[in-house]
Structure 1
Amino acid sequence: MTAYVFPGQGAQFPGMGKDLYEQNEQARALFERANEILGFRITDIMFEGTADELKQTRVTQPAIFLHSVILALTSDNFAPDMVAGHSLGEFSALVANKTLDFEDGLKLVFQRALAMQKACEINPSTMAAILGLDDKVVEDVCAGIDEVVVAANYNCPGQLVISGSNAGIEIACEKMKEAGAKRALPLPVGGAFHSPLMEPARAELAAAIESTTFNTPICPVYQNANALPSTDVAAIREQLIIQLTAPVRWTQSVQKMVEEGATKFIECGPGKVLQGLIRKIAPEAEVESI
């Protein structure tokens, strides 16, 4: 069985999607429709902008979504048996498996980006990558800190990203090193994604999700918050709302897909981050890009 996977924030790069726009008429029409929906020419920033311009959350999230989704929609052989996306990539996956249509997916992603940006301004916060520790050790260290610090992204065995207040992350990095971490690296992000500090964004996004039409998907989506497959529209909607304040269980999602028959993973979007993670989680699986 073939699983299509979709990357999240951090996969962006200057010039992303330009070849697709120039070489494919259907892609060009979708990019131009996106410019209309967003009210600004995101394609100008994607194709000609700097890395710093692309880093703004209000640009990054729709840019990665567009690159990923348009690749899927214009691919000749797109036939997923299952889909999953890392954080933001879950929205791309839900367009790819027909749960959301293109326009609704883009509108939700843009609302999500703006809501997250706002939450970051309310609660100055950050994230850090912890390398070389068991998940349980990382969780225990976080639990022992008298600040908001939680496990946020279970990326692959030995790589877990934590999320929390600026002070909490600083304390956690020191304690992780004391516990034997190979690295404890603060990340250049705008806030504590996938933590309780995203609650203002979750509440805002929930209203938008509840008022959006969701369709019956063509194949299961393995969702971040519970790492389980779903084709039930009500359950998908609920998990998508929970996702903003819950950890991304990527390791567990890939393991579950393999357990349920996935032998090939195709990354659909900018970069190759997910391929690298999947090779560490499921070395026996075939991995490639669309």
Structure 2
Amino acid sequence: MTLALLCSGQGLQSERMFALTGDALPAAGLFEHAARLLGGDARDLVRQSDDATLHGNRVGQVLCTLQAVAAQACLGDAWPRPLVVAGYSVGEVAAWSVAGLVAPETALDLVARRADAMDAASSAGDGLLFVRGLTRATVETLCRLHDAAIAIVNPGDAYVLGGNGASLDALAIDAKARGASRVVAIAVRVASHTPRLSAAAAAFREFLKRAPVANAPVAGVRLLSSIDGDTVVDVGAGIDKLAAQVSQTVQWATCLDACVEAGATAFLELGPGRALAEMALLSHSDLPARSLDDFRTLDGVRAWLGRVAA
């Protein structure tokens, strides 16, 4: 069995996101570390905050990274080898931690700095829009017409587009008129993975250069870069790509294909949500794909891994 671990991005934070790990002793120190970045306990925050707070850029990035590194702390001994790891948007920083290149506390610190750099480089009203059901050529035309850019390429003619709010509103109307099957605003208030954040990418690269990073992933783990789906072999080049990802298109459909090309026989999304598991099922329906959100206990996750391996 080769497992592909998928580290989720922002947008699906919820009050239940730490249901499996919130009381787990192996993750306790990570929740304490995150509390210093968030100004309060993440477990209380997700239960008590309004949507605006929960989906704020800094809060969202720290929460989603905490979800992944807490899962790694609790379940890392259950992951099979070989293992493939990929991260969606901010989830790629968590993926570097899951792969053993950065400590989980370092990953949390890095995403806080990443979020601050993105906020500083953003303009009021910037955001993201999801569009499904149009060809790539049509989506590119819409982006040119409305001063937007493709932020993420997902399987099944699905795209995340970034730009200013007013432009995205006009693009949404145009996309529906051209036959898009689904058009919806995403709860992220920056134009992630577009040239609008070039300054943030440069700033994040400086943070990464100063961070303690291992020379290679742990044995038996393959880490993928989300802007091209390539395996991170040279860590220095990988850092450049991880920083560039802030302002360049994420090729997520390519990443899922690369997981399978690397031998993946099952997918497990670390959450929050199960959007990545659903995309894996869409593009590779013959392989099992689950999310931590599907399980009621950590033992349930371990049992599923055992069944899949068998």
Q: Normalising by structure 2, what TM-score?
A: 0.85
Write out aligned runs for 1:1-290 (5 A): 1-22=2-23, 24-36=24-36, 40-75=40-75, 76-79=77-80, 81-120=83-122, 122=123, 124-143=125-144, 145=145, 147-215=146-214, 216-218=216-218, 219-290=221-292
Q: Residues of 2 paired with 1:11 and 1:105: CA distance?
A: 20
Query: What value does the CA root-mean-square deviation take over the aligned residues?
Result: 2.0
Q: Tell me which amino acid in the other structure corresponds to 1:33.
A: H
Moved over 4 A (4+): 37-40
Report SS of the residue matched to 1:106: helix
Bigger Cα displacement from structure 2, 25-34 vs 54-63? 25-34
5+ residue gaps, structure 2: 293-310
1:3 and 1:84 in contact (8 A); partners too: yes
Q: Residues of 2 paired with 1:181 and 1:258: CA distance?
A: 29
1:15 and 1:49 in contact (8 A); partners too: no
Q: Residues of 1 paired with 2:46 and 2:149: CA distance?
A: 32
Deviation at 1:163, TM superposition (A): 0.9
1:69 and 1:269 in contact (8 A); partners too: no
1:125 and 1:190 in contact (8 A); partners too: yes
Aligned length: 286
Cα distance, 1:178–1:235 mapped onto 2, change above 3 Å: same
Deviation at 1:139, TM superposition (A): 1.7
Cα distance, 1:285–1:57 mapped onto 2, change above 3 Å: same
Q: Residues of 2 paired with 1:230 and 1:203: CA distance?
A: 20
Q: Residues of 1 paired with 2:238 and 2:100: CA distance?
A: 12
Q: Residues of 2 paired with 1:183 and 1:288: CA distance?
A: 24
Deviation at 1:152, TM superposition (A): 0.9
Q: Residues of 2 paired with 1:213 and 1:4: CA distance?
A: 23
Q: Residues of 1 paired with 2:119 and 2:289: CA distance?
A: 33
Report SS of the residue matched to 1:184: strand
Residue equivalent to 2:308:
none
Deviation at 1:116, TM superposition (A): 1.7
Percent identity over the alignment is: 27
Q: Residues of 1 paired with 2:45 and 2:102: CA distance?
A: 25
1:127 and 1:191 in contact (8 A); partners too: yes
Q: Tell me which amino acid in the other structure corresponds to 2:128.
A: M
Q: Residues of 2 paired with 1:188 and 1:57: CA distance?
A: 9
